Amino acid sequence: MTILCTDRDKLEIFLKSNLKEKRYIHSLGVETMAVKLAKLHGADVEKAAFAGRYHDLAKCMTEEELNRIIRLYGISDEYMNNQALSHSKVAEALLRYEFGVTDEDTLAAVSGHTTGRRGMSLLEEIIYVADAIEDNRSYKELKTLQKQAETDLDGACLFIMDYTIDLINSKGRSLDRDTSEARDYISERIARSTNDK
Ligand SMILES: [Fe+2]
Ligand SMILES: [Fe+2]
C-alpha distance from residue 16 to each of 31, 133, 171 (Å) = 15, 22, 32
Q: Of the bound ligands, which one is closest to the alpha carbon of residue 130?
A: 2
Asked if 59 and 14 count as a contact pair (C-beta separation under 8 A), the reply is no
Answer whether 54's CB lies under 8 Å from 27's CB. yes
pLDDT tens sequence across 59-101 = 999 999 999 999 999 999 999 999 999 999 999 999 999 999 9
Q: What are phi and psi of 164, to 5 degrees?
A: -65, -45
**Alpha carbon distance, N-terminus to C-terminus of the chain:** 37
pTM of the model: 0.96
Distance 26 CA to ligand 2 centre (A): 7
CA dihedral 117, 74, 88, 173 (to 10 degrees): -70
Residue 3 has pLDDT above 80, yes or no: no
Assign 172 to helix, strand or coil.
coil
The CATH number for 8-138, chosen from 3.40.50.720, 3.30.420.40, 1.20.120.450, 1.10.3210.10, is 1.10.3210.10
Which residues hold their Cβ within 5 A of ligand 2, which is an ion? 56, 131
Q: Is 197's pLDDT higher than 80?
A: no
Report which bound ligand comes closest to the CA of 88: 1
Look at phi and psi of residue 23 and say left if phi exceeds 0, alpha if psi is from -120 to 50, else beta. alpha
Domain locations in the chain as residue ranges: 8-138
| Per-residue pLDDT tens digits for 115-158 | 999 999 999 999 999 999 999 999 999 999 999 999 999 999 99
In angstroms, the CA 57 to CA 60 distance is: 8
Q: What is the pLDDT of residue 1?
A: 60
111 C-alpha vs ligand 1 centroid, how far in Å? 9
- 104: which residues sit within 8 A by CB, 6+ positions away? none
What is the whole-number distance in angstroms between the Cα of residue 190 and the centre of ligand 2?
A: 25
DSSP structure class, residue 77? G
In this prediction, what percent of the chain has a pLDDT beyond 90? 93
Q: Tell me what the pLDDT averaged over the chain comes to.
A: 96
> Could you tell me the distance, in angstroms and rounded to a whole number, from the CA of residue 195 to the centre of ligand 1?
34
CA–CA distance, 27 with 54 (Å, rounded to integer): 7
For the CA of 137, the nearest ligand: 2
Read off the pLDDT of each residue in 31-37 and give the average, rounded to a whole number. Answer: 98
Q: Quick check: 108 and 124 in contact, CB under 8 A?
A: yes
CA 6 / ligand 1 centre spacing (Å) = 23
pLDDT (mean) for 28-38: 98
